[in-house]
Structure 1
Amino acid sequence: MTGLLLAKAHYPVTTLGPGTRAGIWVQGCTLQCHGCMSRDTWDADPGKEVPVAAVLGWLSSLDGPVDGVTISGGEPFQQPAAVAALVRGIRAWGDKRYGGTIPLDILIYSGYVYSRLSRSAEAQAILDLCDAVVAGPYVDRLNPGGRHSGSASLLWKGSANQRLVPLSPLGRLRYGAPDDSNEEDRGPRMQVSVDEGPEGRRVYYIGIPRRGDMEHLSTTLDRAGVRSGDVSWR
């Protein structure tokens, strides 16, 4: 049985791709980009391993609309066998859901540049089953504070060096040539999830903040008397 190091699965996700989505974050990343907001996903913790079948079962149990699935991390391509099994299962479920009449896209994030991914047979096997990839390391200085006004859209990307590459006809329809001028009209960049676990209550911020957003959030919470404790972005 194939095991996946899993950091978190969440529904609904509305900030990492178009529509209402299921989000799956893998555990483990050796790239460790400076400024990453998800440092809690860096350690490849064997205690986080779950069967891929269990993740697919969770996905199948969702009773709300699912326009797509976003896979992030952590670094998905450092678990190629498990992630390949995951995307195969997602694709099979999506093809059968509602008789295949409602399209479901798979968006995957990677800290590796696209040219490297496309040269790897293991990575290409995953990309062949996805509809789009956001590829490239996060570079903090290329994440402008506030709304981006340059020529290349940062929609669904963390920094300007990253590439959003459509990989299928559906991917080209949903992710091709995003218009930066209406980025603000596509909804908030961040959403909040509160989970109760064995270690107590934990707050997750889902999405792609602009540089300085998380520090501003911490300051605002402190002024309101809310102490954030340990955070994943420092």
Structure 2
Amino acid sequence: MTGLRLNRWHHPVTVLGHGVRAGIWVQGCTIGCHGCASRDTWDPAGGEQAEVLPWLASLPEPLDGLTVSGGEPFQQARALGSLLSAVSAWRGERAFDVLVFSGYPFERLRDEHASVLAHCDAVVAGPYVERRNTGAALRGSDNQRIVTLTSLGERRYGGLEASSAPAMQVLSTGDSIRLIGIPRRGDLDRLRAGLAARGVAAEAVTWLG
């Protein structure tokens, strides 16, 4: 199985999908949406090759699903398809969903990557548009679509269009702090300013590259 080039991976993730999840962030994106909060994932030469399934299989229960974000997952479509095919076989009949975030419109994914979508329960599709960041659930901006692809995906994500109030998860590892989730417009700059007011300098922030 061809390994994805990843920026990072984490468990547990509790804000990017249903329940308690594993999350992976792929490395490499040429879309370059203005205001992207993960510019550290853009460089395709960054990150590292990794085999995800052994890590996923080692995680404790409860484990409700896998979230794939980035970066742009479908710019590594062959490796992504290989991984998700293996995940489909591994999960069997368990209620374990696969949710993928993409900056491409769903129509492009449907036309060019149907074989990958066959292993997804739902996708959040469309480019991030900063001025349309309204705090919609699971969407960085309200032009993006939550598209459900299976009955499990429909049960878990089909009713989220009208939901709001996104949540953020805060992780501290050594001398770094990482936020997981989808910030509202201006949240990250307000956070940085608030830290500065308390004498804490935020260096190498991901949304500034």
* Class of the TM-score when normalised by the shorter of the 2 chains: over 0.9
TM-score normalised by the chain length of structure 1: 0.84
Counterpart check, 1:191 vs 2:181: no
CA separation of 1:73 and 1:47: change in aligned 2, threshold 3 A: closer
Deviation at 1:225, TM superposition (A): 1.9
Distance 1:94 1:45 in 2: 31
Deviation at 1:195, TM superposition (A): 3.1
Alignment correspondent of 2:4: 4
Alignment correspondent of 1:104: 96
Distance 1:91 1:8 in 2: 22
The secondary structure found in structure 2 opposite 1:6 is strand
What amino acid is the match of 1:49? Answer: Q
Distance 2:176 2:111 in 1: 39
What amino acid is the match of 2:169? Answer: Q
5+ residue gaps, structure 2, are none
Alignment correspondent of 2:197: 223
CA separation of 1:195 and 1:64: change in aligned 2, threshold 3 A: farther
Distance 1:214 1:156 in 2: 17
Percentage of pairs with the same residue: 51
Question: Which of 110, 115, 140 in structure 1 is aligned with 2:107?
Answer: 115
Deviation at 1:46, TM superposition (A): 5.9
Alignment correspondent of 1:164: 146
Deviation at 1:78, TM superposition (A): 0.3
Q: What does residue range 129-144 of structure 1 map to in structure 2 within 5 Å?
A: 129-144=119-134
Deviation at 1:178, TM superposition (A): 1.9
Deviation at 1:194, TM superposition (A): 2.5
The secondary structure found in structure 2 opposite 1:172 is helix
Distance 2:171 2:117 in 1: 29
Distance 1:175 1:3 in 2: 28
Q: How many residues align?
A: 208
Distance 2:46 2:162 in 1: 40
The secondary structure found in structure 2 opposite 1:157 is coil
What amino acid is the match of 2:23? Answer: G
> Could you tell which deviates more after superposition, 171-180 or 124-133?
171-180
TM-score normalised by the chain length of structure 2: 0.94
Q: What does residue range 1-234 of structure 1 map to in structure 2 within 5 Å?
A: 1-45=1-45, 48-50=48-50, 52=51, 55-95=52-92, 100=93, 102-120=94-112, 123-144=113-134, 148=135, 154-178=136-160, 180=162, 183-184=164-165, 189-196=167-174, 201-234=175-208
Runs of 4+ in 1 over 3 A off after TM superposition: none
Distance 2:82 2:69 in 1: 15
Deviation at 1:137, TM superposition (A): 0.3
What amino acid is the match of 1:175? Answer: Y
Distance 1:59 1:73 in 2: 18
Task: Spell out, residue by residue over 1:73-129, the C-alpha distance to the aligned partner (whole angstroms, 9 max, x if none).
Answer: 00000001110111112212211xxxx3x4000000100000111111xx1111111
Task: Spell out, residue by residue over 1:14-44, the C-alpha distance to the aligned partner (whole angstroms, 9 max, x if none).
Answer: 1111111110110000001000000000001
Alignment correspondent of 1:151: none
Distance 2:109 2:103 in 1: 10
Distance 2:89 2:195 in 1: 43
Task: Spell out, residue by residue over 1:127-179, the C-alpha distance to the aligned partner (whole angstroms, 9 max, x if none).
Answer: 111000000000000003xxx5xxxxx21000011000000011111111326
What amino acid is the match of 1:85? Answer: S
Deviation at 1:64, TM superposition (A): 3.1
